[in-house]
Amino acid sequence: MNKLTWLLKWVLKAAIFFTLFAFALNNQQEITVNFFFGTVWKTSLVIVVLAVFACGLMVGILGMVPRWWQHRRVAMKAKKINPTV
C-alpha cells in the first residue's frame, strides 16, 4: 500500500510537470508589457505568467506572516504555562 501511494504521488507530480511544460511550449509568443512612465518590457507570455504567479505567492505569504507570528506567540505562552505540552 505504501509503494502504491508513492507511485501515485510521482504520477501526479509527473502529470503536473508535463501539463505545465506543455503550457510553456504553447505560449512562447512575445508580448509587450507597458509599465508607468513609458517603460516597456518585451518577453514571452510564459515568463509574464510565471512572474505574476511568483508575485502572488509572495503577497500571499506576506499576508499570512502576521497570523503565523500571532499563533507562534500563543503557542509559546501555552508552553510556558504548561511545559508538558
Mean pLDDT of 4-21: 91
Determine what percent of the chain is predicted with pLDDT higher than 70: 98
SS3 for 83? coil
Residue 85 binned pLDDT confidence (cut-offs 50, 70, 90): low
Which DSSP string do the residues of 23-59 spell out, in sequence order? HHHH---EEEEE-GGG-EEEEEHHHHHHHHHHHHHHH
pLDDT of residue 59: 96
pLDDT digits (tens, 9 = 90+) for 28-73: 888 898 989 989 989 888 888 888 989 999 999 999 999 999 999 9
